Copies of this chain bind each other. A is one copy, B any other.
Amino acid sequence: MTAFDLFDPINKEMNIVETCLTDIIDTDLPVLDQAATHLIKAGGKRLRPAFALLGAKMFAESIEPAISMAVALEMIHMATLVHDDVIDNSELRRGKPTVKCEWGNRISIYSGNYILAKSLGLAAQYQRNDLLKVLADTSMQICEGEIKQMLSCYNIYQGLKDYMRRIERKTALLISVSCQLGAMLSKASEPEIKAIKKYGYYLGMAFQITDDILDFVADEEILGKPVGSDIRQGVITLPAIYALKHGSHRAQLAELLSSPQLCTQEAELIISMIAESDGMDYAYRVSNRFADKARQQLDLLPDAPVKSTLYEIASFISVREY
């Protein structure tokens, strides 16, 4: 079973979302068109639109009203991914700066701004202040999360709490808000909205922790990026935090992880130390606990044809290819 099978109940609407995402970039500037389209295509799993639609389907038969919001949510996600295209100083030293007008970074930024503005404009069409406030607040909190992640690089003194807060902003928040907005568009009651929002939150936490584990263990082909890319960039995730506290090579690991140079040069050694420490299993247990909590929120909700799908997603996400 893949994530796509799980989206079967909303398949028709997901296809419309995909078409909208392709059509929505409407500029006569070829560079912007290419950059923005590139960003949108880089999106991948479309989790956020899926959760908006599933959240809507929990409380209403027709989920057409949620489609525009699903598109807007994916675009907000895209706008936050803009930094992936930004060449930072560190990379530049290794890279080869081109000679001409050199607009790489700026084009990325403008594309991000463009997509963000477009998504909020799309959401504005609902003429509902409550929805827009949620979206605008979320966009800001995501920015904070991205900065927190950057600031925590190579910081071996970060604890469990720092990590949790970081992935909350980075991932859980937007998935949670996707569920919430979907439910709001299906006129769910306050307690129902609260429960589905929490479901999304716990699910998002489980998802990000599993994602962080996969960065250590998954096949490069599945991941689409080299194994250990977090470590190489100094991003210290849950398995590493565990290993720094409980692993048998704590002192050496701390020395390696606090050095940008060693993180790159000794990535494989670092990964083997973390693997040895039982850090992945620990993270897996934590991820599972969040998935449990997500399921518990579903227990509070009335039955709906799509409820079983939401249960299955929670089971699926915490064991993803691990």
Contacts and interface: CB of A to CB of B under 8 A. Distances in A.
A90 B105 contact: no
Contacts of A41: none
Contacts of A144: 27, 29, 32, 110, 114
B29 A148 contact: yes
A151 B103 contact: yes
Interface in A111-131: 111-114, 116-118, 120-121, 124-125, 127, 129
A286 interface: no
B121 A132 contact: yes
Contacts of A125: 129, 133
Interface residues of A, number: 60
Contact of A140 (B90, B114, B135, B153): B114
A227 interface: no
Q: Is the interface of A mostly helix, strand, loop or mixed?
A: helix
B105 A118 contact: no
B110 A113 contact: no
B120 A136 contact: yes
A38 B242 CA distance: 38
Stoichiometry, copies per complex: 2
Contacts of A99: 260
A150 interface: yes
A27 B140 CA distance: 9
A45 interface: no
Interface in A136-167: 136-137, 139-140, 143-144, 146-148, 150-151, 153-154
Contact of A109 (B29, B112, B136, B140): B112
A100 interface: yes
27 contacts: A29-B144, A29-B147, A29-B148, A31-B151, A32-B143, A83-B106, A86-B106, A87-B105, A88-B104, A88-B105, A88-B106, A89-B98, A89-B105, A90-B102, A99-B260, A101-B150, A101-B234, A103-B151, A110-B147, A113-B143, A114-B139, A114-B143, A116-B116, A117-B120, A117-B139, A120-B120, A120-B132
Interface pairs A-B: 9 shortest CB-CB: A121-B136, A117-B139, A124-B132, A114-B143, A89-B97, A89-B102, A110-B143, A103-B150, A127-B129
